[in-house]
Amino acid sequence: MKAKSLIPEPFGPLQGVRIISTGTLIAQPFAAELAAEMGAEVIQVERPGVGDVGWRKLGICLDTNDGSGPIATNWVQERRNVFCVSLDFSKPRGRELFLQLLPLCDIWMESSKPGTYPRWGLDDATVLNVNPTLVVTHVSGYGQDGAPGYPSRTSYDIVGQAFGGTMYQTGFPDKPPSRAAPWTGDYITALFTLWSSLAGLIYARQFGKGQVIDLAQYEAIHRTIGGTMVEYFQKGLVRERSGNKAQGFQPLDSFETSDGWVVVGALSEVYKRLLQAIGLDPNDPKWESARVNLESIEGIEFDAILRGWIAERTTAEVVRILNEAQVPCSPIMTAKDMAENPHYQARAMHVQWEDLLAGPVKGIGVVPKFSLTPGRIWRGSPGIGHDNQRVYGELLGITGEELEQLKQDNVI
């Protein structure tokens, strides 16, 4: 029987779900943290004394109140609600502790090169033997098997974007391929990690049987490139970079205003509303031709007219006029723009919480919004091993003296 939840007050649609997360950086741990914001109990495992040094310290940092040194804004934003413990899997006692935790969990998510955990005696068969209903989600760059040499390769976000096929299409034709920022490939992988793990959990609860999920980062990214591969296999076509333009119709692009940038898109009847808004005759067949024949005289003329119309006006004017005409248009937002925007404010998108390391901070709230079981932020990001006593003591019954010895032995 699963031990009582460590969360002080149950909340959210995932209350009653316990996840143990042993990965680092973004793709897999972010999936677990999203679940934690929806009420799941998430135990994040880190290396003793070291922690997830990349994500804890990478990029812009904030001062901390416990003398542990600066903490990354990424960590503060993306490790809320989780319980952080430290554990060395390579030590026999560390392996034992992990195997004691697994029967108390519903999902184990991890990210590593294939073969890492089996070397520590934590292969899938062993894990499922101690908890036959466990959902095991392996996240790796290239998958658990495949062509010789590939599964053992290391990967980062930009590598996944390159191998998965999005990077070749991102950017402008006369420029080198560009990654989607900030870490889009990893965040895509995180979403695949979470939905597949929850799908496995639904099956396990319905049929009483756990299973293993093999999620390759590049495959999650590859799954988001639309009809690219159908076009290649059926027509021999290779999609090229087109900047912000759409392929085969206009407008869908970024445009410079007198004081900034906007994006505008118009399809079918919306296109006619755009024509009218900028003073062109929506019934003139010339402009219908311009919509799909981008390189024709009409197509080039329309693009020039639209760009000129936008360039003569401020961002606020363009956004107001086109949205009043029911034409999709948005300013290209900076962090300052988003912080000051009334719609962001009205939907309480940015909230303040108390971080355990950095004190009061403000950042992105919980997404999406549930009507009956909303998610919440009940605590901020913890330090390395912050919850060792709570998790090992309350869940496994390990005494304070034993915990101190485990710490002395560098097991936790």
3-state SS class at 83: strand
Span 6-29, average pLDDT = 96
Shortest CA distance to 217 belongs to which of 185, 191, 183, 182?
A: 185
Under a CB-based contact definition with an 8 Å cutoff, are residues 257 and 318 in contact? yes
Strands of 243-348, DSSP E: 252-256, 261-265, 329-331
Diameter over CA atoms, the chain: 84
pLDDT in tens, 80-110: 999 999 999 999 999 999 999 999 999 999 9
Say what the pLDDT of residue 358 is: 95
Q: Which two tokens stand for residue 282?
A: 């929506």
The residue written with tokens 């680092």 in the block is 24
Can you tell me the distance from the alpha carbon of 400 to that of 396, in angstroms, rounded to the nearest whole number?
Answer: 12
What type of residue sits at position 168?
Answer: Y
Report, as an integer, the average pLDDT of 362-384: 97
- Between CA 240 and CA 219 the distance in angstroms is 20
Q: Which two tokens stand for residue 232?
A: 């290649």
Short-list 181, 139, 186, CA closest to 160: 186
Question: Are 327 and 262 in contact, with CB atoms under 8 Å apart?
Answer: no
Task: Specify the pLDDT at position 397.
Answer: 94
Rounded (10°) CA dihedral 7, 11, 13, 16: 30
Tell me how far apart the terminal alpha carbons of the chain are, to the nearest angstrom: 25
Structural contact between residues 39 and 12, judged by C-beta atoms closer than 8 angstroms: yes
Backbone angles phi, psi at 255, to 5 degrees: -135, 140
45 forms bridges with which residues in the sheet?
85
- Residue 247 is predicted with a pLDDT of 80
Positive or negative, the Cα torsion across 110, 115, 121, 126? positive
Residue 91 neighbours by CB under 8 Å, 6+ apart = 409, 410, 411
d(CA 218, CA 164): 4
Residue 193 tokens read as: 């990690």
Predicted pLDDT at 53: 86
Residue 163 has which token pair?
A: 């191998």
pTM for the complete prediction? 0.94
Please report the pLDDT score of residue 1 as a whole number. 56
Q: Are 158 and 185 in contact (CB under 8 A)?
A: yes
Alpha-carbon distance values, 42 to 16, 79, 103, 226, 236 (Å): 11, 10, 14, 33, 46
Query: Which position has the higher pLDDT, 67 or 215?
Result: 215
Which pair of tokens denotes residue 225? 């490139």
Amino acid at 257: T
Mean pLDDT confidence for 337-366: 97
So where are the chain's domains? 18-224+348-408, 252-256+261-331
Active site residues: 186
Go through the chain and tell me how many residues it has: 412
Query: H/E/C letters for each residue in 322-382?
Result: HHHCCCCEEECCCHHHHHHCHHHHHCCCEEEEEECCCEEEEEECCCCCCCCCCCCCCCCCC
Per-residue pLDDT reduced to its tens digit, 118-150 = 999 999 999 999 999 999 999 999 999 999 999
Res. 230: pLDDT tops 80? yes
DSSP calls for 109-136: EEE--TTTTGGGT--HHHHHHH-TT-EE
The letter for the amino acid at 284 is D
Question: Is residue 114 within 8 Å of 145, Cβ to Cβ?
Answer: yes
For a pLDDT cut of 90, what percent of the chain falls above it?
94
DSSP state of 177: -
What average pLDDT does the segment 168-183 reach?
95
Q: Are 159 and 141 in contact (CB under 8 A)?
A: yes
Between 68 and 183, name the one with better pLDDT. Answer: 183
Question: Which homologous superfamily is 18-224+348-408 in?
Answer: Crotonobetainyl-coa:carnitine coa-transferase; domain 1 (3.40.50.10540)
Q: What value does the mean pLDDT of the chain take?
A: 96
- How far, in Å, CA of 167 to CA of 176, rounded? 10
